[in-house]
């Protein structure tokens, strides 16, 4: 019997008197086939270290530990720590860390793996309410995670993997794809969770690029420009740029100069620009004095 078997999950929750807290976005997966698919998608073997976020009662952790060299599972809810000690007692390659992943010193933590030189993959069922901050925190950290295979709200997965000229495409697509190649692996229906969320989930596989998708003079400015272009999605790029940088004749002249240099029409909308076009515009704006 697996932790994720519905009857086992219910028995564990009842035995420990566990109640779900909305604040932690807890939805426990009760489908062993999907858990196996997650591990297969992540291509984990004994030469892989894994970081898991939000292990819950250990349903996914169990599968990860069977396949990986070591698993470091970050659990913010201290009520779950003794439950995990119980459900995962047969494994000696799991370390449960009772910390908020956003506040943890990950550079120090990863040195606690027996073999820190092994590739590290992040595999997790992320809490919906904080998916994007966690992902960006991990991606922007200087830790060279080889891959992310993470479950999230399908809508967020669509946004991350979106292409230009689609409704889902936006600054989040650009921020993630700059660092990672993102692909939606498969959909997970809401019915396989306890408690069931209101929406379907998706497994997103993100592989770190050897170098960023585009080269820019100033990364912070590039990401800032991407956010600026989508402040008002229905407005033109020109309107969003002047709302952000100003409408004086001097500013407008410099904006026109930069747009002309990047070969981008002011009347276009942000959603129509590719990531390489955003890079060209960011560099042109920097050269124009922004």
Extents of the domains making up the chain? 6-208, 219-287
b/e per residue, 182-209, with b = 16+ CB within 10 A?
A: beebeebeeebbbeeeeeebbbbbbeee
**Is 250 annotated as contributing to ligand binding?**
no
219-287 and 6-208 share a CATH fold = no
> What one-character-per-residue DSSP string does 201-267 give?
EEEEEEEE-SS-SS--S-HHHHHHHHHHHTSSTTS-HHHHHHHHH--SHHHHHHHHHHHHHTT--TT
**Is 40 annotated as contributing to ligand binding?**
no
The fold of 219-287 is Helicase, Ruva Protein; domain 3 (1.10.8)
**Is 125 annotated as contributing to ligand binding?**
yes
Listed as ranges, residues in the chain with pLDDT below 70 are: none
> Which CATH number is 6-208's, of 3.30.70.270, 3.40.980.10, 3.40.50.150, 3.40.50.1100?
3.40.50.150
User: What pLDDT does residue 248 have?
Assistant: 92
Yes or no: say if 259 and 284 are a contact pair by the CB < 8 Å rule.
yes
**Is 100 annotated as contributing to ligand binding?**
yes
Task: Please state, in angstroms and rounded to a whole number, the distance separating the CA atoms of residues 171 and 159.
Answer: 9
Task: Please state, in angstroms and rounded to a whole number, the distance separating the CA atoms of residues 70 and 61.
Answer: 10
**Is 45 annotated as contributing to ligand binding?**
no
**Is 75 annotated as contributing to ligand binding?**
yes
Quickly list H helices, the chain.
Answer: 6-16, 32-42, 59-67, 80-87, 106-109, 131-140, 154-161, 171-179, 219-229, 237-245, 249-261, 275-287
Count CB-CB contacts under 10 A for residue 50. Answer: 29
- DSSP-derived 3-state class of residue 169: coil
Residue 18 in tokens: 């566990």
């Amino acid at each position: 019997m697996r932790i994720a078997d519905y009857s086992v999950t219910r028995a564990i929750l009842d035995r420990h008197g566990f109640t779900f807290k909305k604040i932690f976005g807890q939805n426990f997966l009760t489908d062993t086939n999907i858990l196996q698919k997650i591990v297969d998608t992540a291509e984990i073997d004994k030469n892989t270290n894994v970081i898991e976020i939000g292990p819950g009662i250990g349903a996914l952790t169990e599968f990860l530990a069977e396949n990986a060299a070591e698993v470091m599972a970050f659990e913010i809810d201290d009520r779950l720590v003794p439950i995990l000690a119980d459900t995962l007692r047969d494994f000696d390659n799991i370390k449960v860390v009772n910390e908020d992943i956003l506040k943890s010193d990950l550079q120090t933590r990863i040195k606690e793996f027996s073999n820190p030189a092994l590739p590290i993959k992040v595999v997790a069922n992320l809490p919906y309410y904080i998916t994007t901050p966690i992902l960006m925190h991990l991606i922007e950290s200087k830790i060279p995670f080889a891959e992310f295979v993470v479950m999230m709200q399908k809508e967020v997965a669509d946004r991350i993997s979106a292409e230009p000229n689609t409704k889902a495409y936006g600054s989040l697509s650009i921020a993630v794809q700059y660092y990672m190649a993102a692909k939606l692996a498969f959909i997970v229906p809401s019915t396989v969770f306890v408690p069931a969320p209101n929406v379907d989930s998706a497994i997103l596989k993100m592989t770190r690029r050897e170098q960023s998708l585009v080269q820019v003079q100033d990364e912070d400015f590039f990401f800032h420009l991407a956010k600026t272009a989508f402040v008002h999605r229905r407005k033109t790029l020109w309107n969003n740029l002047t709302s952000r940088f100003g409408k004086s004749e001097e500013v407008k002249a410099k904006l026109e100069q930069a747009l002309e240099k990047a070969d981008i029409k002011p009347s276009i909308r942000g959603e129509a620009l590719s990531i390489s076009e955003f890079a060209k515009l960011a560099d042109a704006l920097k050269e124009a004095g922004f």
